Amino acid sequence: VQLAESGGGLVQAGGSLRLSCAASGLTFGNYAMGWFRQAPGKEREFVVAISRNGDSTGYADSVKGRFSISRDNAKNTVYLQMNSLKPEDTAVYYCAAALSSTWYKLARIYNYWGRGTQVTVSS
């Protein structure tokens, strides 16, 4: 199983980025997908997740109204659209897959993880 994140980079505060996570080696439609992030010196935290068929999503309070998750099961890909970025959004962003119909906030539920992509927001 491979989860490959892409789309990270350096952006100014107020800007936007779109992350992608391409999955291979698993039946993508059987998995709920999540995005987590980890800033230097901090624990990994939940950002957003989506159910396996895309009909349910969940967001951390810190990103509600700014971030949006979506998935394309035909392309085995999940996306994270990040708008109105803030310096505190700076972190390594990880994609994760959970063999479940619904989404979860708990990292330990997720079966597979990507290697992460760096997002840096300058002030």
Task: Give the whole-angstrom CA distance, residue 15 versus residue 110.
Answer: 30
Residue 36: both structure tokens together? 């987590």
pLDDT band at residue 63 using 50, 70 and 90 as cut-offs: very high
Q: At residue 105, what are phi and psi to the nearest 5 degrees?
A: -90, -20
pLDDT tens digit sequence for 2-42: 999 999 999 999 999 999 999 999 999 999 999 999 999 99
Concatenated DSSP letters of 32-81: EEEEEEE-TTS--EEEEEE-TTSS-EEE-TTTTTTEEEEEETTTTEEEEE
Nearby residues of 101 by Cβ (< 8 Å), 6 or more positions away: 32, 51, 52, 53
